[in-house]
Structure 1
Amino acid sequence: MPRENWLIVGISGATCSGKTTVAKELHSLFSNSVLLQQDDYFYDEKSEKHTKIAEFNHINFEILSSIDMAAFKNQIRLVIESSNSSTGATGPSQGKPTEVEAKFTEKYCSTEIAPSAYCIISKFQKLQFVPNILFIEGFLIFNDDQLQDLCDLKFYFTMSKGLCWERRKNRVYQPPDVPGYFEKYVWPSYLVHYEEVLRKSSNVVYIDGADSIENNFRSILHKILDFLL
């Protein structure tokens, strides 16, 4: 895939680890960014491409074959091949660091600027421009060779089983999780996917999903700014 004028950031990891929230926060900060989410590309529940778990009479949503990866990749291609994209930007010169800095200060610093925020602001002030940024978010993006190779920056959110369950059990899914699905499929699948990322993917930054959304947001923002400087 051609990717002129785009910084591509992959955000992946465990369910309920905060990765989606952080990805949305980053996307909202950079006006010249696009966010594509893997969860939007699950096949319809009635699709014959799904794998059914007989004992639960439930779809296995924890595997790549449950996702229309061809459509997902095609949308990624359309974004990075477009000179305008959905952001309306025509090139890296459209990104203005001062605008992003002002938005960051207004939203995250209120009346008092923490020392960690000063560091971020100082990095913004050193930038000449901000390129278009494509955020690709999803729990299996680094388990696809083409997608993980495409990303300039890769972040993977990890999570303990106990905390993951505490968060997951309070969420409402469509279709709803059935009893035993987390224990037998969600968590074991995460461990397999995580091990595959550890084994096959390089230059991945691992993020502790137990940490606060704000801390993880700032940690990734630091890495993005460091990459651009």
Structure 2
Amino acid sequence: MKTRVIFVGIGGATCSGKTTLAKHLRKILPGSVIVHQDDFAPPQELIPMHPEYNVQDWDSAEGAIDWPRMIRTLREVKRTGIIPPEHYSHDHLNEQRDVPIEQDTFRRWHETFTRIQDEREKEGEKIIWVLVDGFLLFWHPEVIELLDVRMFLRVPHDVLKKRRNERHGYHTAEGSLWRDPPQYWEQIVWPAYVAAHSRMVEGGDVEHGQPNGAVPDLILIEGLEMKVGAMVERVCARLEEQ
């Protein structure tokens, strides 16, 4: 049986809701898996120091991700449909607020994709959905090229800041807990987000600009204008076309 691996990229700033959306899709799409970009952060001792503020910079695109390792892993998953056994995810260590969706939405789309899966398998094709979520997903051109569907969740600055401040911290791959130093959001997180994403929207306006084509076929989702269930509806409708 022929295997077709479909990469669904879900990008967005820290605390934008991308992982929540990805986990709802994983429950809906038969046999789907999630690859979290956070799992490709370098070892804690290799995270660079910010040249001006003298704290570790976990957010600037150049140093926050081990890009060769991420690209190598994605290519392997694309080829085999299997996450390499040596790949370790620490996502389960991080707190995540449960944001449920309507049961009717879940049931309807789960039935739809189960039917599609059955139909394709009768035709000799097995579909494997790989949900790739990340806060820097659309920065590296090789990662962008690997994605078959590209979604970006946009949430306003003040909401992101509030959500970030309400978090107790982030677990590293080594299991330690990283807590933001004072002014980390203002000095590092937000500037790094703007730097990584301004090139893909009109006028470089990450808050209001529309996609400008730098990331091909990018689907922009305004995170405050839609409930999670509505996001799931929109994304599933797009995935049904694959």
Normalising by structure 2, report the TM-score.
0.72
1:41 matched to 2:40: yes
- 3-state DSSP of counterpart to 1:179: coil
Residues 145-160 of structure 1: matches in 2 within 5 Å? 145-160=141-156
Contact conserved, 1:42 with 1:66, CA < 8 A, in 2? yes
- Which residue is 1:53 aligned to? 50
Distance 1:153 1:182, change over 3 A: same
Could you say which residue in structure 1 is the equivalent of 2:90? none
Question: Following the alignment from structure 1 to structure 2, what is the Cα–Cα distance between the partners of residues 143 and 75?
Answer: 17
- Aligned pairs (5 A) from 1:31-110: 31-47=30-46, 50-53=47-50, 56-64=53-61, 65-82=63-80, 85=82, 110=103
Which ranges in structure 1 are unaligned for 5 or more consecutive residues? 88-106
**Structure 2 gaps, min length 5:** 85-99, 121-125, 170-176, 202-211
Show the counterpart of 2:15: 16
Q: Are 1:13 and 1:19, in contact at CA under 8 Å, matched by a contact in 2?
A: yes
1: CA distance between counterparts of 2:30 and 2:150?
Answer: 21
Question: Does the 8 Å CA contact 2:32/2:131 hold for their aligned counterparts?
Answer: yes
> In the TM superposition, what whole-angstrom CA distance separates every residue of 1:65-121 from its partner, at most 9, and x where no partner exists?
221111112221222222x6259xxxxxxxxxxxxxxxxxxx9654xx47x986x57
Shift of 1:196: 2.1
For 1:63, the aligned partner's letter is: S
Instruction: Figure out how many residues of one structure are paired with residues of the other and give that number.
Output: 199
Report if the CA contact (8 A) 1:143-1:197 is conserved.
no
1:221, distance to aligned residue in structure 2 (A): 1.4
Moved more, 123-132 or 170-179: 123-132
Amino acid at match of 2:184: Y
Match of 1:207 in 2: 221
Aligned-pair identity in percent equals 23
Contact 1:13–1:194 under 8 Å retained in 2:
no
Query: Could you give the per-residue CA deviations for residues 114-153 of structure 1, whole angstroms, max 9, x where no partner exists?
Result: 7x986x5795587333711111111112111011111111
Output the CA distance in 1 between the equivalents of 2:114 and 2:137: 32
Q: What RMSD, in angstroms, separates the aligned Cα atoms of the two structures? A: 2.8
Q: Distance between the aligned counterparts of 1:122 and 1:6, measured in 2?
A: 20
Give CA deviations for 1:15-65 in whole Å, capped at 9, x if unaligned.
111001111221222232221111011112212xx3212554421111232
- Corresponding position: 1:5 with 2:11: no
Distance 2:101 2:15 in 1: 23
* 1:24 alignment partner, SS class: helix
Give the equivalent residue in structure 2 for 1:91. none
**DSSP 3-state at the match of 1:11:** strand
